[in-house]
Structure 1
Amino acid sequence: MSTTVQAEPHTTAQRTATNEFVSYPHDIPHRVEHDAETHRLRIEGGPHSTTWQLGQSAGQLALTWPAGSTPRREATLAAIDAAFAFHPEAQWLQLQGPKAMYPALRHTGIVVDDSEGVPWVPAELFWQQPGLWLPSPRPLPYPQQPVLSAGKRHPRRPPKPEGTVYRRHIPWLKATLSFRVLDLEHDLERFSRWMNDPVVAHFWEEQGDLAQHRHRLEATLSHPNALPLIACFDDQPFGYFEAYWAKEDRLGAYYDADDFDRGWHLLIGEAAFRGTPYVAAWLPSISHYLFLDDCRTQRLVIEPRVDNAKMLHNLARCGYAHLKAFDFPHKRAMLGMQLREHFFNERSWIPQPPHPGSAPRPGPRFSQ
């Protein structure tokens, strides 16, 4: 048995190499080493280390537990997570292990059986498991109660979370991407500097001093519709994301908004993080987070300016459809939309080529 992993979730990823991956099942860091020659996955996390075999079975990706005992649940999830990371083209993973481990995995939708009773892990279902990427997922969806605000009828929204809300290791960057709720005193000066950056100001048009930006953020934090987030790579802040419920947002008047549609705005404040490898990480990840945050969210929307060609291009590569151009009072915008079914069915957490980390899309899917 190996010793307990000493690194904290925020620092583990900094020591990863090309054949290493970090998974965070139930917010416990698991470092996974992939030995391509022996087809082994060595997983270190919690009190023990475990080893799985990762190879091919009848031409399909297969993850096999070689020991007689039942593997720990967190280590099993980390192994599955890493297997899909090392084989991003895979849509299905055959899971081979003791029968005792399957009932709980079937119950949560991680494992499904084909017509012959063989257990498989569909990537489409696995990536909808909040416990792999959300440090504190809600145990159940927030109960529904219709309320009125500013003349708009919508479901009562849940209390805002605190701290880190999403964490994902990005293999091509060898770093961990995270979103945390904005802290006014800690982030105000940084936010103000970003807003006064010429590149950001061109699209946001919210230049100002600290007092103006404090007032703006206080209003955002107090509004139940909006969730301000700071995006980080290995805990280094690089951007601001603002998630909102579309039903009661100004955008809701420009299309037929459903009760649980979510939208988002963003700015990348640090120039060093504006390249394609970073876009390929944060753009699918903000979508992933919003879909995981509430299983009733079926659509994501965004309304960039119609002249923001780079953003429109990147949205298309990450599964967003451009539905229509329309006129806000302050700008002409493009309505972009991502469907939950499309995101998970097409594995849009990996952008289409030529983005880093992308993989060729395979042919016909495995059918049950």
Structure 2
Amino acid sequence: MSPTDASTDTGAGQVPLRGGGAEDTLDLRLPEELFPLIREDELTLVPQPADDDGHLLDTPAGWGPATTPLGHFQLVPVRIERDLGLVSRWMNDPAVAEFWELAGPESVTAGHLRAQLDGDGRSVPCLGVLGGTPMSYFEIYRADLDPLARHYPARPHDTGMHLLIGGVADRGRGVGSTLLRAVADLALDNRPRCARVIAEPDLRNTPSVSAFLSAGFRFCAEIDLPDKRAALMVRDRALRNLL
């Protein structure tokens, strides 16, 4: 199950080819070069070349800090031995659990994290550290290599994100929008072959959808995913200075 975004502001919250534009994303044809074999029960993905540094996501650990109106922000890749307790506690917050569906003992969160950490690097779980304090959780992933790509017209190197805000005190005051914009811009700055940042919050989660809009994403379509009806949100490189 792909994680769903908890509200970026009330509970929690994932790049055209160079020179690409922001054309309508309602055409649901899949790029043939990515998916030559699709079976009913699974999506078989063709192995993709790594990015210039040998990693599918250009190593989010090296993206560096971002200066935001709230202070310095940085993505720090999760280490289970250090971060499991914190992330599990956030997942058990009822406002988060409603959308992420990872409440329970630490083993539930550990399994979710290990599936990413033991994979090929197409999804990287990170802590969002603001002013030196871990206060949010991000998943940065290759949307074009994810099962999500079956449900929208994916382009090579599309970057997806999921977000949750950990602390109640950081919710409902625009923090989510600030972080979403910062991380989307980090992705665009550090992934030159990525032209779009993609997100798919649950349509029921109106604060999350609103936060993405405030962060410079545009609403493109409603899409039916296996576990939710989602709003397809896109932040385009070509429009980043306009939205």
TM norm structure 1: 0.51
Q: Which residue of 2 aligns with 1:308?
A: 205
Tell me how far 1:328 sits from its aligned partner: 1.2
DSSP-derived class of the 2:163 partner = strand
Q: Would the aligned equivalents of 2:68 and 2:182 in 1 still touch at CA under 8 Å? A: no
| Cα separation, 2, equivalents of 1:163 and 1:210 | 24
SS of 1:155's equivalent in the other structure is: coil
Q: Which residue of 2 aligns with 1:356?
A: none
Number of the residue aligned with 2:65: 167
User: Structure 1 residue 182: deviation in Å?
Assistant: 0.9
> Deviation at 1:307?
0.9
**d(CA) in 1 for partners of 2:187, 2:234:** 13
Where does structure 1 differ by over 6 angstroms across 4 or more consecutive aligned residues?
Answer: 146-149
- Structure 1 CA distance for aligned equivalents of residues 47 and 62 of structure 2: 27
* Letter in structure 2 aligned against 1:298: A
1:162–1:314 distance in 2 versus 1, CA, 3 Å: closer
Question: What is the RMSD computed on CA atoms of the aligned residues?
Answer: 2.2
For residues 80 and 101 of structure 2, the distance between their equivalents in structure 1, rounded to whole angstroms, comes to 20
CA, structure 1 residues 312+277, in 2 after alignment: closer, same or farther (shift >3 Å)? closer
Cross-structure match for 1:34? none
- 3-state DSSP of counterpart to 1:166: coil
The answer as to 2:49 corresponding to 1:156 is: yes
- Counterpart for residue 155 of structure 2: 258
Match of 2:93 in 1: 197
Check conservation: 1:264, 1:302, Cα contact below 8 A. yes
Secondary structure of residue in 2 paired with 1:264: strand
8 Å contact kept, 1:226–1:244: yes
Q: How does 1:156-235 map to 2 (within 5 A)?
A: 156-157=49-50, 158-159=54-55, 161=59, 163=61, 165-171=63-69, 173=70, 175-223=71-119, 224-235=121-132
Where does 1:70-219 land on structure 2 (aligned, <5 Å)? Answer: 151-153=44-46, 155-157=48-50, 158-159=54-55, 161=59, 163=61, 165-171=63-69, 173=70, 175-219=71-115
> Could you give the per-residue CA deviations for residues 250-283 of structure 1, whole angstroms, max 9, x where no partner exists?
1100111111111111111111211324224211
CA distance in 2, matches of 1:148, 1:266: 31
Instruction: Please give the alpha-carbon distance, in whole angstroms, between the structure 2 residues aligned to 1:338 and 1:176.
Output: 22
Greater CA deviation, 207-216 or 187-196? 207-216
Give the conservation status (yes or no) of the 8 Å contact 1:147–1:154.
Answer: no
**2:66–2:186 Cα contact (<8 Å) kept:** no
Deviations 1:131-190 (A, max 9, x none): xxxxxxxxxxxxxxx99996212522333737563312234x3x2111111111110000
Once the two structures are overlaid, the 10-residue window that deviates more, 274-283 or 157-166, is 157-166
Q: 1:154 to 1:254 in 2, by over 3 A?
A: farther
Q: Distance in 2 between matches of 1:233 and 1:152?
A: 36
- Rounded Cα–Cα distance in structure 1 between residues aligned with 2:172 and 2:227: 28
The number of residues matched between the two structures is 199
**SS of alignment partner, residue 201 of structure 1:** helix
- Structure number with higher strand proportion: 1
Counterparts of 1:293 and 1:154, CA distance in 2: 22
Of 224, 233, 237, the residue aligned with 2:134 is 237
Aligned to 2:22: none
Amino acid at match of 2:133: Q
- Note the C-alpha offset of 1:241: 0.3
Aligned partners of 2:174 and 2:211 also within 8 Å: no
The answer for unaligned runs of 5 or more in structure 1 is: 1-145, 349-368
- In structure 2, give the amino acid aligned to 1:268: I
CA contact (8 A) 1:164 1:181 kept: no
Q: How big is the shift at 1:312? A: 1.1
Take 1:329 and 1:317, find their aligned partners in 2: how far apart are those partners? 27
Q: Distance in 1 between matches of 2:60 and 2:176?
A: 25
- Where 1:267 maps in the other structure, the secondary structure is strand
Percent of pairs with identical residues: 29
- Cα distance per residue 1:295-333 (max 9 Å; x no partner): 010111111001111111121122212111121121111
Contact 2:177 2:212 in 1 (8 A): no
In the alignment, the residues of structure 1 paired with residue 72 and residue 113 of structure 2 have an alpha-carbon distance, to the nearest angstrom, of: 26
Deviation, structure 1 residue 284:
0.5
Amino acid at match of 2:152: Y
Specify the alignment match of 1:271 in structure 2: 168
Equivalent AA in structure 1 for residue 49 of structure 2: R
Instruction: Give the Cα separation in 2 of the matches to 1:263 and 1:342.
Output: 17
